[in-house]
Copies of this chain bind each other. A is one copy, B any other.
Amino acid sequence: MTPTIELLKSHRSIRKFTDQPLSRALLETLIEAGQAAATSSHVQAYSVIHVKNPDNRARIAELAGGQSYVATCGAFLVFCADMKRPTEAAERTGARVVRGMTEQLLVASVDTALMAQNVAVAAESEGLGICYIGGIRNNPQAISELLALPDQVFPVFGMCLGYPAHAPDVKPRLPVAAILKEDRYHDDQAAVEAYDAAMQAYYQSRKGGAKATTWSQNLTPLFDTKLRPHMHDFLVARGFEMK
**Pairwise interchain contact A183-B147, C-beta atoms closer than 8 A:** yes
Binding-face segment, A66-74, A118-126, A161-169, A204-212:
A118-126
Taking residues whose C-beta sits less than 8 angstroms from the other chain, chain A's interface range is 35 or more
Partner of A33 from the list B8, B98, B104 (CB cut-off 8 Å) is: B8
A227 touches B48 (CB 8 A): no
Q: Which residues of B contact A150 (CB under 8 A)?
A: 185
Copies in the complex: 2
Does A56 belong to the interface (CB within 8 Å)?
Answer: yes
The CA-CA distance from A235 to B109 in the complex, in Å, is 15
**Are B219 and A102 neighbours in the complex by a CB distance under 8 Å?**
no
- Interface CB pairs A-B, < 8 A, 11: A8-B33, A28-B176, A35-B176, A41-B218, A42-B215, A93-B216, A101-B228, A102-B242, A110-B112, A113-B113, A149-B185
A5-B125, A80-B185 known; 13 other A-B pairs, CB under 8 Å?
A: A2-B122, A5-B122, A8-B37, A11-B37, A28-B180, A31-B176, A42-B171, A50-B180, A96-B224, A101-B227, A101-B228, A106-B231, A110-B112
